[in-house]
Chains A and B, each alone.
Chain A
Amino acid sequence: MSQPGLSTIVQIRDAVAAGDASAVEICRTALAAIEARDPDLHAFTTIDREQALARAADVDAGHDRGPLAGVPIGLKDNICTRGLPTTASSKVLAGYTPPYDATVVERLLRAGAVIVGKTNCDEFAMGSSTENSALGPSRNPWDRERTPGGSSGGSAVAVAAGFVPAALGSDTGGSIRQPAAFCGLVGLKPTYGRVSRYGLIAFASSLDQIGPLTHTVLDAAICASVISGADPADATAAAEPVPDYVAALTRDVKGLRIGVPAGLLEEGVEPELASLFQAALERLRDLGATIHSMDLPHAGAAIPVYYLVATAEASSNLARYDGVRYGHRTGRADSLRAMYNRSRDEGFGAEVKRRIMLGTYVLSAGYYDEYYRKAQQVRTLIRGDYDTAFAEVDVIAMPTTPTAAFRLGEKVDDPLQMYLADVFTVSANLSGLPALSVPCGFTGTNLPVGLQLTGRMFDEAGLLRAGHAYERDAGWWQRSPSA
């Protein structure tokens, strides 16, 4: 929104409810801002102008009065939308238009949200910078020469640039939290099973979760309340009741025990980020929390375990792209086998092929026990470390990333370096735990940095409460990029 005072869900919703702005006006403003500035930033891959305006008109006519009534929202392009192209930023799905809505989309629409379009991401959500998008990278509004992070980078840009107050992303190893940190936003990766994955294009099925990117924790709580809950279409969506996340934001963190994994912080965190992290802990202490040094003995193995497990699952999930039922088919094949192989080679980008290859290798005869099974066993140990830790503390704090946003092009030729940047985020996915990234300050060159809080299974409420108390006291969220 370019109108001052209309940048958050709460501000927009209240303005619409009070009659100070119509949903159509809000929607037009969002579309105009996208039209003017997105050719440069590339947050969106598809804009749904007509449908968005029609939805907004419905809201104004009073047919929809949900918690997101009239709120424009962006959706990562790996979330299926009926009648609106969904490509996961891959050439293999160019032009694909799903015949159904993902469950989260149905829930957003029911809550009155106005979906304005689909956001750019690394192809099939594989990457940390959006540079693996077949449609080209997105730019960070805080410094357009830098990446917004990934893989939900387009969602982060759409919110950080002020186009929409909220966007959904997906997080398999940090893909919501890392771009949120790089763009000065709140990002929530819910507990595995908290949000239905029906209609999310699968990357690694035991790790994937959908979640919101927003300016404030309150906005994240509103989105989480809307999208969470059991779903007959997803057997892994938990029956656990969904608490009132908004009511949980009491700002009371007195006696909250925050664990800090001391050893992990030696893993190449830039000094500037380390001191911003320490300052955030101080602030939480001033608010009444207690800080406890603790240990996650197997945390150092999280990245290799993650890349073995995630690529194995990806190689299996991506076997479906065979050029038969949907997606790209090669124009030059006279046998079925050649049609499969060439369609896949032409359709997938380099990083996706690299991961399919790695996953196929670790699942193949002779290497399964040595790599895949071993990784699954270490996954058990990593999870066990958290179980042990949560007997002593309520929340675990870490920097979301070891560095602030890196430059576009800086890591594209070195996949392993790109993977190492996920050091603090992958464990939550391997363990299934919820994790929240909240802005915790800026570097000397005005790049935002994130504080990550990880909680017990299904304790989104506790995480959001702690994040909200910190955010209201620190006030970082009020800064916006001048770009």
Chain B
Amino acid sequence: MSQSLTREDVLRIAELASLELTETEVETFTRQLADILAYARQVQEIDTTGVPPTSHVLGATPLDRADDPRPSLPRDEILKSAPDPSMDAGLFRVPRVIG
């Protein structure tokens, strides 16, 4: 591949992907992702004029289920999995968003 992936590309993708990479990771990924993309470029040589994309392989339309109300999972059990739950208020706590 002539045009290579740059360090700036990697930082931009990391931001889109919500990943805070270490300096070592930025270096390694710049090299490795460039290699993988160079390899993946071979798909661009295949003629796909007029070929529709496949996003899934389901034969028929997905199944509908009966719209019967069912109990949801117990709130407390779900909250117990959270890193910082407020059991009393029934909330997930996160760092302050609005100053």
Contacts and interface: CB of A to CB of B under 8 A. Distances in A.
Interface string A359-403: 011001000001101111111110100000000000000000000
Interface in B2-29: 9-10, 13-14, 16-22, 25, 28-29
A135 to B, nearest CB: 20
Contacts of B58: 192-193, 236, 238, 432
B6 to A, nearest CB: 12
Contacts of A307: 36, 40
Nearest to A99: B77
Contact of A339 (B32, B53, B95): B95
Given A206-B55, A344-B19, A377-B48, A308 B73 contact: no
B83 interface: yes
Task: List 6 A-B pairs, minimum CB-CB distance, nearest first.
Answer: A432-B57, A376-B53, A329-B83, A377-B48, A232-B65, A341-B20
Given A99-B73, A304-B40, A416-B35, A232 B46 contact: no
B64 A341 contact: no
A323 B46 contact: no
Given A96-B81, A357-B17, A380 B43 contact: no
A326 B13 contact: no
19 contacts: A99-B78, A192-B58, A230-B63, A233-B65, A298-B46, A304-B41, A307-B36, A325-B82, A326-B81, A326-B83, A335-B95, A344-B20, A353-B21, A353-B25, A357-B13, A357-B33, A364-B16, A383-B57, A432-B57
Interface string B39-68: 111111010100111111111101111100
A472 interface: no
Contact of A334 (B10, B48, B95): B95
Given A235-B64, A325-B82, A341-B19, A378 B33 contact: no
B94 A336 contact: yes
Given A358-B36, A361-B33, A374-B48, A304 B14 contact: no
Interface in A386-437: 415-416, 419, 430-432
Nearest to A337: B18
B74 interface: yes
Contacts of B14: 357
A233 to B, nearest CB: 8
Given A301-B42, A308-B40, A416-B36, A381 B81 contact: no
Contact of B16 (A193, A345, A348, A360): A360
Interface string A442-459: 000000000000000100
Contact of A323 (B17, B73, B83): B83
A230 B64 CA distance: 11
B43 A304 contact: yes
B82 A326 contact: yes
Nearest to B65: A232
B53 A324 contact: no
Most buried by B among A298, A319, A333, A375: A375
Contacts of A78: none
B48 A378 contact: yes
Interface in B71-96: 73-74, 77-78, 81-84, 92, 94-96
